[in-house]
A and B are shown apart, each in its own frame.
Chain A
Amino acid sequence: MDRRTVLKGLAGAGGLALSGGLSAPAIAQGASARTLRFVPQANLANFDPIWGTQYVVRNAAALVWDTLYGVDAKLQPQRQMVESEETTDDGKTWTFKLRPGLKFHDGEPVLSKDVVASLSRWAARDPMGLMILAIQQELTPVDDRTFKWVLKQPFPKMLYALAKNNAPCSFIMPERIAKTDPFKQITEYVGSGPMKFAKSEWVPGAKSVFEKFTDYVPRQEKASWLAGGKNILVDRVEWLVMPDPATAAAALQNGEVDWWENPISDLVPVLKKNKNISVDIGDPLGNIGSFRMNHLHPPFNNVKARRAVLMALSQEDYMRALVGDDDTLWKPLPGFFTPDTPLYTELGGEILKGKRDLDAAKKLLAESGYSGQPVTCVVAQDQSITKAQGDVTADLLKKLGMNVDFVATDWGTVGARRAMKTPPGQGGWNMFHSWHAGADCINPAAYTAIRANGDKAWFGWPNSPNTEKEITAWFDAKNLEEEKAAIGQVNKAALEDVVYAPTGFFLTYTAWRKNVSGITKGPLPFFWNVSKSA
């Protein structure tokens, strides 16, 4: 009997007991309806959203720091801290004006010098920011509420860069904090967002507390993801880290917490049976599973070997290993971009469709020159997503007749090892597994994994000039049609050269007590307009 089986069985039994209406005195309950208790996806180990780019940091930072623009549920940038913007006819000069009355949590007004310092720090760490920096002529304050960004050439995706929800977001901080070296951590957490961070109550690894910022002036528009009116309807939001999923499930059933960001799929049926709990898809943009092959070393330095793997892999096998039997939680993905988003395409995706052809794949592998050398497959066992995918890959490679050197380790080790460019026998690797938030894969803007510019590319260092050419075409696109055309070609080229192997698209749930209302689906948990009754 393993730990997972025990927790599933007991949590299930607990859920049934509760739904049966048992009642008894509770020492545990009685928390104020003005405090929303939330179990985040991970521990908030640091709190500098520019220095560290983990999703959990971005999610917490969205409460404390505001952005100039925010992306809405239609994936469009909307004004947030800015009142207006102007661009010259040549597209090279942008002039932005801030909304009046913006204040930081220390009572100081938000001035354009704060914005300039914040954007400079952000740009040094963000892929789109770096692109802007490369063509920047000057970024300067004009007056207290106005600043100007002058470029050497047009950058059509400027507003998207400032609004995007991919980490790092362009959060605005006071100048004195924003002047911190972008490669060093800030120590003050002062923003102008709708909530203040209670640093004195922060226990990294256990608890983070946010208090309502009463001087925050929300926009008048209806809230939509990171855009619109961010009205905070509770006094406090407490993030309680629970490393054990069964404990989180039990705490939610017991009313000790109000909202669990991402319950594991094993426990979802239990939560669904509880009449006091709502369960729904958390992020409609989901995730894209992946494994990457190292393009620098045999056998995967040969495109035939990479294509052989792609021909043989069954995305259904991967997805079932990840989400079990719930067919609503996954879909096949013959490409690299997030399904149900404007630029989604399947162009060139035939290699991932239809019946898997193991014989043809074996033949192609033999043509690549593969002669039985070990394939070092590095798999983090401490993350359920990578572990499940790694197990399927090991089986896949064996079926292909490959000699698998399966390295089961932890994420910290994978993180370090995948950066090694040395051959697998000298500390390097042939394959590792990961996944990408669907929100990052709607276009190439923050989609590091799709880049194929050799040494500058993400781990695996794919070199596909055709893919890169089409990515550049997307950045230069002036309308949606041009964007779609470019993305179709990116997908085709990236599959032809097998930049990486997509293992399918999958969704995850979120769960909350029914006395909580206002929770919306999105790429991160939005706390504005969420209320809680007693």
Chain B
Amino acid sequence: MLSYILRRIVSTLPVMAIVALFVFSLLYIAPGDPAVVIAGDQASPEDVERIRQGLGLDRPFLIQFGSWVWRILHGDLGTSIFTNLPVSAMIGQRLGPTLSLMTVTLLLTIVVAVPLGVVAAWKAGSFIDRAIMAFAVFGFSLPVFVVGYVLAYVFALELEWLPVQGYTPLTEGFWPWLPNLILPSIALGCVYIALIARITRATMLEVLQQDYIRTARAKGLGQGGILFVHALKNAAVPIVTVIGIGIALLIGGAVVTESVFAIPGLGRLTIDAILRRDYPVIQGIVLLFSFVYVLVNLMIDVVYTLVDPRIRY
């Protein structure tokens, strides 16, 4: 297993390099010039050109790319064109809020969605099943920002139970940290709860038709044991897959959520960097996101072996 994991990690390096080259090229092909944004409206073309030279943007594409790759190989993600701060430090500042948001959302999703899916499958065709599936369709259909505004209105503005916006680091304590994440996690989690609940139900329904479930019932095993010990374990592979994909998708969802709830995470950093054409920051984030995707895929594969011993690498 260890050699498999190592092989997987090594094999992802070329993928990340290709992604990096693609993104680097795309940025230079796309219109927009950070020097123009920096120089402001008062600047003359000469001013803009001098800023461009100062930033090294006047150098040929291949030299810029080569220099960037060289820095990456030495563990240096470069310096932001706008803030003059190291990209790694900027990403580090923003990683905490995004990881917190994703963690709470993921936990919330699993805790809510899997039992909902199991119950829906168990009560297939009943009112409960239809209600859960209706909720799932509803959750899937609503944009994150709509859910976010509704939650903020009810729980922050009207009831004043939770803050509207902001983020407190976990280092300042669990209780200062958690309240800022509850509403955004619910807003972000709605889609994933719906998605995972539906997948869980479908997979469970299939498993519940299997002979060994009938045998378990015939042996007089209780409903809870059948559902959560026998059926759920065998239905776990597709559910784990969807949860894994969900983690990757959460990164995209976090962009909107972080804007609505003013959370200083990677999503907002990405949007700001793109709008300003802050190339080193965009490149650093893309590399990070690529790495996360690869890592999540790897983790899914590893979890497969844990939930289904028949899978071997």
Contacts and interface: CB of A to CB of B under 8 A. Distances in A.
B259 A244 contact: yes
A455 to B, nearest CB: 9
A181 B54 contact: yes
B262 interface: yes
A198 interface: no
Contact of B90 (A187, A204, A415): A204
Interface string B19-39: 000000000000111101111
Contacts of B50: 183
A277 to B, nearest CB: 13
A388 B41 CA distance: 20
A352 to B, nearest CB: 23
Given A127-B42, A242-B262, A256 B165 contact: yes
A534 interface: no
A507 B294 CA distance: 50
Interface in A195-247: 203-207, 240-244, 246-247
B275 interface: yes
Given A28-B164, A53-B41, A254-B163, A412 B276 contact: yes
Contacts of B44: 456
Given A125-B47, A456-B44, A46 B164 contact: no
B38 A28 contact: no
Contacts of A27: 161-163, 179
Contact of B42 (A413, A417, A448): A448
A410 B276 CA distance: 10
A398 interface: no
Contacts of A51: 38, 51
Interface string A250-288: 110110100000000000000000000000000000000
Interface stretch (B81-89, B122-130, B219-227): B81-89
Interface size class of B (residues with CB under 8 A): 35 or more
A204 B85 contact: yes
B157 interface: yes
A83 interface: no
B179 A413 contact: no
Residue with the greatest number of chain B CB neighbours at <10 A, chosen from A3, A206, A413: A206
B163 A28 contact: yes
Given A204-B82, A244-B259, A254-B164, A415 B264 contact: no
Contacts of A458: 41
B68 interface: no
B41 A24 contact: no
Closest 9 CB pairs of A and B: A206-B264, A53-B40, A14-B157, A28-B163, A412-B32, A416-B33, A415-B36, A183-B50, A250-B164
8 contacts: A3-B143, A206-B262, A243-B268, A247-B261, A254-B156, A382-B275, A412-B32, A416-B33
